[in-house]
């Protein structure tokens, strides 16, 4: 059960004018009062095809999102980020885009997009859309044109075409492997090949081509003009490439011997020229449009993507990858606050998204579990301790919600939804399954359509079926069941977000480091303390009023695997 203070009303937060703490971040005076909305926002990721289905075809859609804005408002999020809703053959869940300035007819229309934005905005919720600039789909008009055009033509120059090895170009230009498995090169006849870092249906664009650059700026303006508030940038570290001859081998690419910023396609220094151009577009709006980079780069390289001259913010997946380790959390949190402070941005925190095993399940498994092998065993080996997983997931979520910076939530985590690990293989949609020669089940287990009601053909997702099969146990996680109980995970998320909104102040914290190593404890301006017990032995709670806890608290002791927020009374 979630405990709210029964000691009477809680005082309004006291904002600390002293701003103690090592990573002091002064917010630049905003040209527009809303310009900094993103700095400490709670952003809720929607995977549109699995959120809500308005017309019973089994596929989530934009009117479905509009119909569920009440859920998002009651949850208390500041913004939604929509994974791609553009026309797509779904070779990679929509990250294979046929047309960047339209809506997939199976999902809705541009008019329905506008209605959705208006409804979200009326509820005080901002809208972030996903931009996929590294590759188009193979059905994009440009790629169709490139296939019929001659080698060396302007149409082919928009992509990364190259002549193969051997007298007739019959072998690929290099032995590079695609991120989802197999070769990164696909032949198109005549000894010519094109590069695809992901699936063959996702040809990589040539970012040295000015027409490509101009078209993406146009796309950013297109959505900004429609009222979109910000952008999530897919694979932001891979756009620019050095394809000069001779190409290194895959082993050489991976050897790490290249100078920093000089890998052939990963995290090249000049990618930031692209983002400087985008910044001009963002800043031509009032308030400026925001962006967050998905950049899988070492922590010290992240700041470039997150700088105010660039995209402005970048995902930090460190806590997602940290396991259950208090000391590690402590170190990673401080490192990320320092990095964000140095580049004049705010940090981001995330535990789940559409690419990873849901965190309620990750924390249910022994430390070091090979998640791919676990999925391949249909979630049987090793056995998951679901109760522990949820307890730990709630604890780390409450910890991260107490931190300075932005929190990114993934649809369904507010229900404590576990991964659907036992999807039958014939239901799998993720290209990873086929591309890995059936050695990896992929990411469908976190993309199963949400349960809104405990009954009905797709648990209220729609009036008929769901495009990925939902297990019977989804009934107990349904939104309607949880909304009726004040001890549910949904009630806990709602309370946590409401309390965060009330308490969140200046972007600083002060560590309280005198406790045991597996207790992570810090105080925020205004006099509220978050304390997480990563151990099993109960520890004393700090003095003050209990605001919220991730698991039931008895008396003055914080149980193991639990986070609590405590607010000091004035003068404490």
Q: Which residues contact ligand GLC by CB under 6 A?
A: 92-93, 95, 132, 198, 234-235, 294, 354-355
Cβ proximity to ligand GLC: between 229 and 294 the closer is 294
> Contact between 104 and Ca ion (CB under 5 A)?
no
Q: How far is CA 558 from CA 179, 389, 548, in A?
A: 44, 18, 12
Cβ proximity to Ca ion: between 457 and 515 the closer is 457
DSSP string, 280-330: HHHHTSSSPPEEEE-----HHHHHHHHSTTTTS-B---TTTTS-S-HHHHH
3-state secondary structure 162-192: EECECCCCCECCCCCECCCCCECEEEEECCE
Q: What share of the chain is helix, strand, coil (3-state, %, to 5)?
A: 30, 15, 55
Cβ proximity to ligand GLC: between 444 and 507 the closer is 444
> Contact between 55 and Ca ion (CB under 5 A)?
yes
> Contact between 77 and Ca ion (CB under 5 A)?
no
The strand order across the sheet containing 230-233 reads 290-293, 230-233, 126-131, 79-82, 42-46, 406-410, 348-350
DSSP state letter for 361: H
Cβ proximity to ligand GLC: between 94 and 462 the closer is 94
Give the C-alpha separation, 199 to 235, whole Å: 14
Cβ proximity to ligand GLC: between 65 and 432 the closer is 432
Q: Least CB distance from residue 46 to ligand GLC, whole Å?
A: 14
- Residue 212 binding partner per list ligand GLC, Ca ion, none, with a CB distance cut-off of 5 to 8 Å that depends on partner kind: none
- Quick one: 455 exposed, middle or buried, by C-beta within 10 A (0-12, 13-18, 19+)? exposed
- Quick one: 10 exposed, middle or buried, by C-beta within 10 A (0-12, 13-18, 19+)? middle
> Contact between 53 and Ca ion (CB under 5 A)?
yes
Q: Least CB distance from residue 178 to ligand GLC, whole Å?
A: 10
- Taking CB under 5 A as the binding criterion, the range among 57-65, 407-415, 472-480, 534-542 that sits at the site for Ca ion is 57-65
- Residue 267 binding partner per list Ca ion, ligand GLC, none, with a CB distance cut-off of 5 to 8 Å that depends on partner kind: none
Answer for which of 25, 46, 59, 360 binds Ca ion (CB under 5 A) is 59
Q: Least CB distance from residue 354 to ligand GLC, whole Å?
A: 6
Give the C-alpha separation, 288 to 283, whole Å: 5
Cβ proximity to Ca ion: between 93 and 418 the closer is 93
Give the C-alpha separation, 368 to 91, whole Å: 31
- Residue 61 binding partner per list ligand GLC, Ca ion, none, with a CB distance cut-off of 5 to 8 Å that depends on partner kind: Ca ion
- Taking CB under 5 A as the binding criterion, the range among 45-53, 127-135, 279-287, 477-485 that sits at the site for Ca ion is 45-53
Give the strand pairing for 42-46 and 406-410: parallel
Cβ proximity to ligand GLC: between 302 and 494 the closer is 302
DSSP SS3 for 556:
coil
DSSP SS3 for 33:
coil
Cβ proximity to Ca ion: between 250 and 463 the closer is 463
- Residue 440 binding partner per list ligand GLC, Ca ion, none, with a CB distance cut-off of 5 to 8 Å that depends on partner kind: none
Cβ proximity to Ca ion: between 63 and 442 the closer is 63
Q: Least CB distance from residue 410 to ligand GLC, whole Å?
A: 11
Q: Least CB distance from residue 94 to Ca ion, whole Å?
A: 14
Name which of 131, 126, 129 is nearest 81 in CA terms.
129
Q: Least CB distance from residue 468 to Ca ion, whole Å?
A: 14
CA 491 to chain centre: 22
Cβ proximity to Ca ion: between 103 and 491 the closer is 103
Give the C-alpha separation, 461 to 477, whole Å: 13
Q: Least CB distance from residue 352 to ligand GLC, whole Å?
A: 12
Cβ proximity to ligand GLC: between 97 and 490 the closer is 97
- Residue 95 binding partner per list Ca ion, ligand GLC, none, with a CB distance cut-off of 5 to 8 Å that depends on partner kind: ligand GLC
DSSP SS3 for 82:
strand
Q: Least CB distance from residue 182 to ligand GLC, whole Å?
A: 15
Q: Least CB distance from residue 415 to ligand GLC, whole Å?
A: 21
Q: Least CB distance from residue 202 to ligand GLC, whole Å?
A: 6
User: Are the CB atoms for 149 and 155 separated by under 8 Å?
Assistant: yes
Q: Nearest residue by C-beta to ligand GLC?
A: 95
Q: Nearest residue by C-beta to Ca ion?
A: 61
Answer for which of 10, 19, 57, 486 binds Ca ion (CB under 5 A) is 57
- Quick one: 554 exposed, middle or buried, by C-beta within 10 A (0-12, 13-18, 19+)? exposed
Name which of 211, 546, 555 is nearest 563 in CA terms.
546
Answer for which of 40, 41, 61, 140 binds Ca ion (CB under 5 A) is 61
Give the C-alpha separation, 59 to 104, whole Å: 11
Q: Least CB distance from residue 531 to ligand GLC, whole Å?
A: 33
Q: Least CB distance from residue 263 to ligand GLC, whole Å?
A: 17
Where do runs of H (alpha helix) occur along 459-515?
474-477, 479-483, 489-503
CA 118 to chain centre: 23
> Contact between 67 and Ca ion (CB under 5 A)?
no
Residues binding Ca ion: number (CB under 5 A): 5
- Taking CB under 5 A as the binding criterion, the range among 61-69, 136-144, 332-340, 354-362 that sits at the site for Ca ion is 61-69
Reported as half-sphere exposure (CB side, CA atoms, 13 A), residue 94 has a value of 28
Contacts to Ca ion by CB under 5 A: 53, 55, 57, 59, 61
């Amino acid at each position: 059960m979630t405990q709210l203070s029964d000691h009477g009303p809680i005082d309004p937060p006291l904002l600390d004018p002293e701003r103690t703490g090592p990573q002091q971040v002064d917010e630049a005076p905003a040209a527009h009062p809303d310009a900094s909305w993103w700095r400490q926002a709670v952003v809720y990721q929607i995977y549109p095809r699995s959120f809500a289905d308005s017309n019973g075809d089994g596929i989530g859609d934009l009117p479905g999102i509009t119909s569920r804005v009440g859920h998002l408002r009651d949850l208390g999020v500041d913004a939604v980020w929509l994974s791609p809703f553009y026309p797509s053959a779904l070779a990679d869940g929509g990250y294979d885009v046929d047309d960047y300035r339209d809506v997939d007819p199976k999902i809705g229309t541009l008019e329905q997009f506008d209605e959705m934005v208006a409804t979200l905005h009326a509820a005080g919720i901002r809208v972030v859309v996903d931009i996929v600039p590294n590759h188009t789909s193979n059905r994009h008009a440009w790629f169709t044109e490139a296939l019929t055009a001659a080698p060396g033509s302007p149409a082919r120059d928009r992509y990364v075409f190259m002549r193969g090895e051997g007298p007739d170009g019959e072998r690929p230009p290099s032995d590079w492997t695609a991120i989802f498995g197999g070769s990164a090169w696909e032949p198109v006849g005549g000894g010519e090949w094109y590069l695809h870092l992901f699936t063959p249906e996702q040809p990589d664009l040539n970012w040295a081509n000015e027409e490509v650059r101009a078209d993406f700026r146009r796309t950013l303006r297109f959505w900004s003009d429609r009222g979109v508030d910000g952008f999530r940038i897919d694979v932001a570290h891979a756009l620019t490439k050095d394809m000069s001859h001779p190409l290194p081998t895959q082993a050489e690419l991976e050897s790490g011997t290249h100078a920093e910023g000089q890998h052939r396609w990963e995290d090249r220094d000049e990618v930031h020229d692209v983002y400087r151009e985008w910044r001009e577009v963002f800043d031509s709006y009032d308030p400026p449009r925001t962006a967050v980079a998905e950049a899988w780069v070492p922590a010290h390289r992240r700041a470039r993507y997150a700088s105010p001259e660039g995209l402005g913010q970048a995902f930090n997946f460190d806590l997602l990858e940290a396991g259950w380790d208090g000391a590690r959390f402590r170190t990673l949190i401080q490192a990320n606050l320092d990095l964000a402070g140095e580049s004049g941005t705010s940090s981001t925190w995330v535990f789940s998204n559409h690419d990873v095993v849901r965190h309620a399940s990750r924390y249910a498994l022994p430390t070091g579990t090979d998640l791919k092998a676990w999925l391949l065993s249909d979630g049987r080996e090793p056995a998951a301790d679901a109760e522990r997983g949820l307890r730990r997931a709630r604890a780390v979520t409450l910890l991260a919600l107490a931190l300075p910076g932005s929190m990114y939530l993934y649809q369904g985590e507010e229900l404590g939804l576990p991964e659907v690990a036992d999807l039958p293989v014939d239901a799998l949609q993720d290209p990873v399954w086929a591309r890995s020669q059936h050695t990896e089940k992929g990411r469908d287990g976190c993309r199963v359509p949400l349960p809104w009601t405990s009954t009905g053909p797709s648990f209220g997702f729609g009036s008929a079926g769901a495009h990925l099969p939902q297990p019977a146990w989804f009934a107990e996680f349904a939104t309607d069941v949880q909304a009726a109980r004040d001890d549910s995970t949904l009630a806990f998320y709602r309370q946590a977000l409401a309390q965060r909104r009330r308490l969140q102040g200046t972007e600083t914290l002060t560590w309280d480091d005198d406790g045991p190593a597996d207790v992570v404890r810090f105080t925020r301006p205004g006099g509220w303390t978050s304390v997480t017990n990563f151990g099993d032995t109960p520890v004393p709670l700090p003095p003050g009023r209990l605001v919220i806890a991730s698991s039931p608290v008895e008396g003055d002791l914080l149980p193991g695997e639990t986070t609590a927020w405590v607010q000091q009374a004035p003068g404490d």
